[in-house]
Structure 1
């Protein structure tokens, strides 16, 4: 836990809440901290350079969630964002928002996504840049990035834009990942995500047993469930192959910088959520937040 504490910024508690967790967090000792409030240099991919690099003591946490497609990055990142009061920025959502628009970029993105390929650095970075600028203009502080960076090039450019305090790498066996992806469903009316897969894996060959209950929709959504066009077995396997080729080196990038925390999911949300809070030293914070709002 001491090692993890050195990775965490000194946070400002959301909504005025106080916690021993925040008091234990240490300010980043990276060289980037000495560049606080300095303007980020321009990059040809971006339209402007209005983001500022802030000292960790003057902002909320800035984390990244890594993991193979379907591992649950969005689920756990959004839960933590709600708990800690920081924005959840999912690059997949940024892409889907652009896909639903009538812009010229929409058709290009649709072809890329349907083929299970990664969206180019230029497109992702411009979408992310616009989102970060918009959040800063609204006074937002901190974030958890979900689904970015996916390549070494992206990680290097991101490092030039902002400071990342901690990278959480969620892990699951590949066969379970495929089953989870094929079970994903989207309600065409409310837009919420569900999963109809019921996973029960026996423990063998030294691997632990694992159980994941389906995340079923309410009755009014059941008849409106649709499958994402990119959630076919062929596309899912291709996405996992691309991940292994392109994104796993990103894990090494952050591991060398002492910022990577690897977390093997022990099961579904009921089993994994409390254990994740424990390794993040947040297990007592959720109880205090609940007590404060009771």
Structure 2
């Protein structure tokens, strides 16, 4: 797969323009054809005019276009951001887009707060609107390629995405659920700098044919230690609800891409020190020693 090893390609923004316009238009059409309950949120008009018969670019002439899947807390953001630094492409995380909107005190903030605090999935309508706005900003800045983290989460989103973007590879990160729960409950954010840390020290013994696993905590520097806060949705009840919703709504997306030969499954063997080198090897990105540590 050539896209896995090509690290520098010409910039192209046409895919971003096409996607932003298409997802807005497609979702508006879907909403018009399906009876729905009244919503206080109305998506903005498409930010771009859709170009008819826009040709898709050859993978050799653009940066990688990847999607990251995985249960909440598995580490999609951690590994996606590291790979983005390595490959020089933007990391577009819908979770970050939602949190930015929550912090903005904008018209969606209260509605999103209720959804997130209950562990529910944010509606396609809202996610697609936020993503379209992010893609518009990226096009204006001349971005090329991407790693999508948190999108698509539903079959409807995947169907919209496949109409406008040639996804090269879908990486499905996997981790046993008991470890995932400990990780989620150990997440902390520095209230000052906004960086993410984890105070959980995980040491699970192997049993029933499953290997043991150890993960050291990702502790903050001394300046951040006294400023750590817990996300309001990182309670055991909410985390387990997020798992349930993921298995019900998002796991079918795995099969969607598996049936198209796009899915690459990666079982995390442990924390970052154990998993990062093996992930680079799986992606054929370990051919130069400096690449192993470029994004560390």
Q: TM-score, normalised by structure 2?
A: 0.84
**Aligned ranges 1:260-271 → 2 under 5 Å:** 260-271=263-274
**Structure 2 gaps, min length 5:** 29-42
In 2, the alpha carbon distance for the partners of 1:182 and 1:237 equals 11
Find the counterpart in structure 2 of residue 173 from structure 1.
176
Report how far residue 58 of structure 1 moved: 2.3
> Are residues 1:109 and 2:112 paired?
yes
Stretch deviating more after TM superposition (219-228 or 202-211) = 202-211
Find the counterpart in structure 1 of residue 64 from structure 2.
61
> Are residues 1:13 and 2:12 paired?
no
**Structure 1 gaps, min length 5:** 16-34
Change (3 A) 1:285 1:14: farther
Q: TM-score, normalised by structure 1?
A: 0.85
In 1, the alpha carbon distance for the partners of 2:187 and 2:17 equals 43
Find the counterpart in structure 2 of residue 24 from structure 1.
none
In 2, the alpha carbon distance for the partners of 1:265 and 1:129 equals 31
Determine which of 274, 277, 280 is the counterpart of 1:274.
277
In 2, the alpha carbon distance for the partners of 1:9 and 1:236 equals 33
**Aligned ranges 1:76-155 → 2 under 5 Å:** 76-155=79-158
Find the counterpart in structure 1 of residue 287 from structure 2.
284
Find the counterpart in structure 1 of residue 255 from structure 2.
252
Change (3 A) 1:155 1:285: farther
Find the counterpart in structure 2 of residue 27 from structure 1.
none
Aligned length: 267
Stretch deviating more after TM superposition (281-290 or 240-249) = 281-290
Report how far residue 224 of structure 1 moved: 0.4
Change (3 A) 1:104 1:86: same
Find the counterpart in structure 2 of residue 21 from structure 1.
none
User: What's the RMSD between the two structures over aligned residues?
Assistant: 2.4
For each residue in 1:155-207, what CA deviation from the matched residue of structure 2 results, as whole angstroms up to 9, or x when unmatched?
01111232211000000011110000000000000000000000011122211
In 1, the alpha carbon distance for the partners of 2:98 and 2:262 equals 27
Find the counterpart in structure 2 of residue 183 from structure 1.
186
Tell me if the contact between 1:116 and 1:238 (Cα under 8 Å) persists in the aligned partners: yes
Tell me if the contact between 1:83 and 1:286 (Cα under 8 Å) persists in the aligned partners: no
Change (3 A) 1:137 1:65: same
